Amino acid sequence: MNWRAISRRLLPYALVAAGGFLLAYLFVAFFIFPPQIVPDDAKVPQVVGLLFDEAVTRLDAAGFKAKTGEERFVELAPKSTVLAQSPPPGATEPRGTEVILDVSAGQRQVQVPSIVGMAQSVAADAIDKAGLELGSVNERESQAARGAVLETTPPAGSPVAPSTRIDLIVSSGPPAVDAPDVVGQSYAAARAMLEQVGLRVGDVITDSLATAPSPQTVISQTPAAGSRMAPGSKVSLSISP
């Protein structure tokens, strides 16, 4: 038997069988089980440090989906900056995989407390409890009690970073007035003059040894005329009998 001749006769049939098998394999590979047979993997791009919208665009171009993960305050990272990603950069993953992105919520902020009207010491305590610091303290004349807070910079309710310095303007009390000269005036006239400028009569002492043209004439006053006094202060008088 000539095996060489037989082989030549069977070769076309063998080629047809092999071709049929290959076609069947490719049909199964591409149309029935494509994900298992033909992998569609890619490397996850680096997006840490990008703004979230930029990271979404870059991941989408590489075939991945972005998903927001944890949001946390970071002092030096602007709001929406990507801080971390999972899977990490360079990992090989199937296209369509979700990449979890942790982003910055920006710098933590607190509100300036409402302290206008408080005594300075109470206001300072409120500033400290809010995580802020007391800044400069200046005085201004006011009808408010001495030491009461009149104004803050930044104003109450302003969002600021922790440890921001809050400057205060506090009351130095009502504007001072000059004590009028009431020596030589009658007690009634002296009292009227004092009340006209916002002062009051204090102690009244009758000097039995004093001589004056008429009774109850003011002989002396304390404080003396021209003294700077806070409104409502008292002036003591010495009068003739």
Domain containing 67 — which CATH number?
3.30.10.20
16 CB-near residues (< 8 Å, 6+ apart): none
Domain C-terminal end among 51, 76, 104: 104
Burial 97-124 (b: 16+ CB within 10 A, else e): eebebbbbbbeeeeebbebbebbbeebb
Residues of the chain with pLDDT under 50: 1, 3, 35-38
Domain C-terminal end among 124, 153, 171: 171
Which pLDDT tens digit goes with each residue over 185-239? Answer: 999 999 999 999 999 999 999 998 888 888 999 999 999 999 999 888 999 999 9
pLDDT of residue 222: 96
pLDDT of residue 122: 96
CA angle, residues 117, 120, 121, in degrees to nearest 5: 125
Residues 31 and 45 in one domain: no
pLDDT of residue 145: 86
Residues 32 and 43 in one domain: no
Distance (Å, whole) CA 53 – CA 84: 14
CA dihedral 193, 198, 202, 208 (to 10 degrees): -10
Range of the domain at 161: 110-171
pTM, rounded to two decimals: 0.52
Domain C-terminal end among 104, 136, 152: 104
pLDDT of residue 108: 87
**Domain count along the chain:** 4
* Structure tokens that stand for 207 in this block: 């000097």
